[in-house]
Chain A
Amino acid sequence: MSDTDGEIKMVTAIVRPDKLGDVKQGLAEVGAPSLTVTNVSGRGSQPAKKGQWRGEEYVVDLHQKVKIECVVADIPADDVVDAIAEAAQTGEPGDGKIFVLPVDSAVQVRTGAEGTEAV
């Protein structure tokens, strides 16, 4: 607890869909197995692709990604970031981004527990 000072952080990572399994493994190893996953589309440094419909090409600059949200209190956010970055990396453009945000409060719906206990 001391190394996180009771703060709650949300780590939001946008990564390649086929790296989801590795990221889940990495998060489990670092002790933060709870997560939320969403299918998202976005653009960053990855070059645009060519789509095709009845022989005609069109540009697809929004790439399929998954967004992983992981809220932590007793695990340092930096550890979670490192775990995700290591698991999701291929070295090619389009590996994604990771953001860390502060979380004001948290409630566990089942128990009503608040704050770091809820996480």
Chain B
Amino acid sequence: MSVPLQADPATLGTAITNSWILLVSFLIFFMHAGFAMLEAGQVRSKNVANQLTKNLLTWSVGVFVFFLIGAGVDALVGTGSFSFVPGGESASWISWLYGAVFAMTAATIVSGAVAGRAKLRAYVTYTVLLAAIIYPVVSGISWYGTGLLGAEGMIGSAIGAPFDDFAGGTVVHAMGGVAGLTAAYVLGPRIGRYNDDGSANVIPGHSLTFAVLGTLMLAFGWYGFNVGTSGIIGAGDQLGRIAMGTTIAMACGAMGAGLVSWVKTGKVDTLYVANGLLAGLVGITAIPHAAAWWGAILVGGVAGIQLPIVFEFVEKRLKIDDVCAVFPVHGSAGIIGTLMLPIVVAPEYLAGLSYGRVDMFLAQFAGVIVIMAWTILATGLVWGVLKAIGQARVTPAHEQEGLDISEHGVDTYPEFGSDDGIAADGGRVETDGGVVMDDDTSAGITADRFETDTNGADN
């Protein structure tokens, strides 16, 4: 039997393309493990399970909503007709998943900004709306020729150049970063993050180990994100350019952020190096297909260098508590990379276009403005409404106790097991081992520290 050799080239081509798309989709999916670890490491130990739960629900709830609604809205905005995934051809069963892993990357960025104080129901509500409408509108106007920013779209044709965001530097990352910043602004800072005079306090996360593990897991998945956005058959020199540029930009981002922290404090800050590595990746994500090799160095380096500066600006000037630095990592780095395309574009790429650097910049600028305006408006509206009805934030008591216990009833790092005998509640115990449930805490009873209930039915 030699069936594969007898298959016609078209069938073989489809099989190779499908294998490639599925492979990179799985790689991009794995970025959720990276986000989960990165965010878990950057929050305090009392909020770890809450952060992990948000990451799990971002994927689960988000991908479900994107399957039923978001993928269709994306097509509606891009082409004018809604497409329902289950009703489509089998090819769309692969392509929707490919779109979904990008959509969920945008969604999960937000959880890092609102860590430690957002109500779970508020976050899930926002995730549903992001997966159903907010992100699909952004991808729809950007990634279809007939979309608003596309070559045949209203803005794209007016400028004479399409918005050129290859893998989602702005569509996915800047969108997620700006959404996170907006949500964090509406929510307000964590208790204790700022003093009455407006000066900021540092609230260190609980594990640099997890943060760095998550960073490198994300970088691994990012190869799927950037290289995987290119087709594999007949990709020409594009595939190599993307793999090379992605790698170089990531390296320069880490070095750039490390260098700035060294200059600022005399020490190479581990978390800045890790955040800078991601900022370098975000910076190149819009343009890895077009940037010259030296352009990848420049974009990655600038993305890394801006990170400490922008983080400090957000913290000290805007006074927004962006817990996991999602704006400097995903937001500003994505915008800068997208806008730098005319500067760093490879001559071979430019030669193949019908427009020059000026129109190219206008198209990039218009794309960034439109996407940011929509993201801020939609995100601000959703969180604003949630705040107005008192559902955006947990109570101060719950925040101080930690969201793990108050929102999920779990203890991420339990010190003692549950099988340690009788439980006491405010100094009172019952001999059957149960916790006293009534609210009778009159002085006479609480004074007896180990009063036993001899009338208990079980005795």
Q: How far is the CA of A59 from the CA of B203 in the complex (A)?
A: 12
Complex interface: chain B residues within 8 A of A52 (CB): 265, 267, 269
Task: Let me know if A53 and B308 touch, CB within 8 A.
Answer: no
Complex interface: chain B residues within 8 A of A54 (CB): 269, 271-272, 275, 308, 311, 325
Task: Let me know if B272 and A55 touch, CB within 8 A.
Answer: yes
Q: A55-B261, A55-B312 are in contact. List 6 more A-B contacts (CB 8 A).
A: A53-B203, A54-B269, A54-B271, A55-B308, A55-B311, A58-B202
Task: Let me know if B264 and A51 touch, CB within 8 A.
Answer: no
The residue on A at minimum CB distance from B324 is A54
Complex interface: chain B residues within 8 A of A57 (CB): 202, 265
Complex interface: chain A residues within 8 A of B312 (CB): 55
Quick check: is B145 within 8 A (CB to CB) of the other chain? no
Quick check: is B384 within 8 A (CB to CB) of the other chain? no
Q: How far is the CA of A29 from the CA of B311 in the complex (A)?
A: 55
Q: How far is the CA of A47 from the CA of B275 in the complex (A)?
A: 31
Q: List 5 A-B contacts (CB under 8 A).
A: A53-B202, A53-B271, A56-B200, A57-B265, A58-B201
Quick check: is B205 within 8 A (CB to CB) of the other chain? yes
The residue on B at minimum CB distance from A53 is B204
Where chain A touches its partner, the secondary structure class is strand
Q: How far is the CA of A58 from the CA of B204 in the complex (A)?
A: 9
A54 to chain B, nearest CB (A): 5
B59 to chain A, nearest CB (A): 26
Task: Let me know if A51 and B204 touch, CB within 8 A.
Answer: yes
Contact with B along A25-61 (1 / 0, CB 8 A): 0000000000000000000000000011111111000
Q: How far is the CA of A53 from the CA of B272 in the complex (A)?
A: 9
The residue on A at minimum CB distance from B325 is A54
What interface size band does chain A fall in?
Answer: under 10
Task: Let me know if B265 and A55 touch, CB within 8 A.
Answer: yes
Taking CB atoms and an 8 Å cut-off, the chain B residues in 128-166 that contact chain A are: none
Complex interface: chain B residues within 8 A of A56 (CB): 200, 202
Task: Let me know if A55 and B204 touch, CB within 8 A.
Answer: no
Task: Let me know if A53 and B205 touch, CB within 8 A.
Answer: yes
Q: How far is the CA of A55 from the CA of B202 in the complex (A)?
A: 10
Q: How far is the CA of A100 from the CA of B44 in the complex (A)?
A: 37
Complex interface: chain B residues within 8 A of A58 (CB): 201-202, 204
Contact with A along B260-279 (1 / 0, CB 8 A): 11001101010110010000
Of the listed residues A51, A53, A54, A55, the one surrounded by the most CB atoms of chain B closer than 10 A to its CB is A54
Complex interface: chain B residues within 8 A of A55 (CB): 260-261, 264-265, 269, 271-272, 308, 311-312
Q: How far is the CA of A44 from the CA of B129 in the complex (A)?
A: 54
The residue on B at minimum CB distance from A59 is B202
Q: How far is the CA of A48 from the CA of B61 in the complex (A)?
A: 47
The residue on A at minimum CB distance from B269 is A55
Complex interface: chain A residues within 8 A of B265 (CB): 52, 55, 57
B278 to chain A, nearest CB (A): 13
Complex interface: chain A residues within 8 A of B201 (CB): 58
Taking CB atoms and an 8 Å cut-off, the chain B residues in 226-281 that contact chain A are: 260-261, 264-265, 267, 269, 271-272, 275
A52 to chain B, nearest CB (A): 6
Contact with B along A58-84 (1 / 0, CB 8 A): 100000000000000000000000000
Taking CB atoms and an 8 Å cut-off, the chain B residues in 298-338 that contact chain A are: 308, 311-312, 325
B305 to chain A, nearest CB (A): 13
The residue on B at minimum CB distance from A56 is B202
Q: How far is the CA of A58 from the CA of B269 in the complex (A)?
A: 13
The residue on B at minimum CB distance from A51 is B204
The residue on A at minimum CB distance from B260 is A55
Q: How far is the CA of A57 from the CA of B269 in the complex (A)?
A: 10
Complex interface: chain A residues within 8 A of B202 (CB): 51, 53, 56-58
Of the listed residues A51, A55, A58, the one surrounded by the most CB atoms of chain B closer than 10 A to its CB is A55
Complex interface: chain B residues within 8 A of A53 (CB): 202-205, 271
Complex interface: chain A residues within 8 A of B272 (CB): 54-55
B203 to chain A, nearest CB (A): 8
A107 to chain B, nearest CB (A): 20
Contact with A along B193-209 (1 / 0, CB 8 A): 00000001111110000
Complex interface: chain A residues within 8 A of B271 (CB): 53-55
Taking CB atoms and an 8 Å cut-off, the chain B residues in 160-215 that contact chain A are: 200-205
A58 to chain B, nearest CB (A): 4
A46 to chain B, nearest CB (A): 20
A41 to chain B, nearest CB (A): 15
Q: How far is the CA of A56 from the CA of B311 in the complex (A)?
A: 11
Q: How far is the CA of A54 from the CA of B200 in the complex (A)?
A: 13
The residue on B at minimum CB distance from A54 is B271
Q: How far is the CA of A57 from the CA of B203 in the complex (A)?
A: 11
Complex interface: chain B residues within 8 A of A51 (CB): 202, 204
A49 to chain B, nearest CB (A): 13
B267 to chain A, nearest CB (A): 6
